[in-house]
Amino acid sequence: MEYVSVRGEEVPALGLGTWNLTDDECVRAVRTALDLGYRHVDTAQDYGNEREVGHAIATSEVPREECFVTTKLWPSNYRYEDVIESIRTSLDRLGTEYVDLLLMHWPHPFVPTEETLGAMADLVDEGLVRHVGVSNFSRSRLEEARELSREPILTDQVQYHPYRDRSDLLEYCRREEVMLTAYSPLVHGGLVGDGRLAEIGARYEKTAPQVALRWLVQQEMVAAIPKATSREHLAANLDVFDFSLSDEEMAAISDPSRLRTVLGLARGRLER
């Protein structure tokens, strides 16, 4: 495993996304991921699976302190008292005394960002949250959040993959020491037939999705949280730390054609 060093925290560069994972399938996926070596698990209030994620962690052989756990506030809980109450409920569901990272899931058009971030900072003061961040924030909104937050913004979690250019946001994140966490990094399976990635992967005996994940985690200040359920796919996603892409290969992946970009956006249109 490689790590992203950000503001004194070592975050596993590759984690497990749990969007749309529920019930026993979620428990099995998280427990299997931890067994394979994952130490970074991402959930959210809106996913409806915090209890399952927590159960999987609690019943695994991995000590809680070795697992970096992220959850996200849903916008209906952005008022100060709702932030405090809903996170206490999230902690109860997760079966943990704290989360490593708490994110605002989306910007809100009416609730002041300062109010929400203020409540999140108070949770840090209480020891219930270790770090705060945001999700689905543009560069301008991220700048604003950083100005308003008493606590450093550890990450902006956004959809990022070879078909989705994030160079402007990533440049800002690197300059300001903010991690960019890439969700939907495999475009919901849309990378499997990518000829360019497959050609590069053949040089390393890797698949197109593995090349895409390597491209992400090889970038400075980037972590990725692909979702998978089967042991085979979970293991394959984790098997990206035994090779490195050349500068030319990195550049080739970063320069998709207009058709690939449109295809990627169409496949990944449901942001979460």
Is 78 an active-site residue? no
The Cα 2–Cα 208 span in angstroms is 20
Helices (H) and strands (E) in the chain, counts: 11, 10
Going by DSSP bridges, is the β-strand pair 9-12/16-17 parallel, antiparallel, or unpaired?
unpaired
Total structural domains within the chain: 1
User: Could you count the other beta carbons within 10 Å of the beta carbon of residue 80?
Assistant: 15
Radius of gyration over alpha carbons of the chain, in Å?
Answer: 18
Q: Of these residues, 38, 47, 78, 98, which one is catalytic? A: 47
pLDDT of residue 264: 53
The Cα 55–Cα 62 span in angstroms is 12
pLDDT of residue 116: 98
Q: Which CATH number characterizes residue 232's domain?
A: 3.20.20.100
In a domain, 140, yes or no: yes
Asked if pLDDT for residue 57 goes beyond 80, the answer is yes
In a domain, 272, yes or no: no
The Cα 45–Cα 86 span in angstroms is 9
Instruction: Provide the domain limits for residue 145.
Output: 3-267
pLDDT of residue 193: 86
The structure's pTM equals 0.94
In a domain, 120, yes or no: yes
Mean of per-residue pLDDT scores for the chain:
94
Which amino acid, one-letter code, is at 242?
D
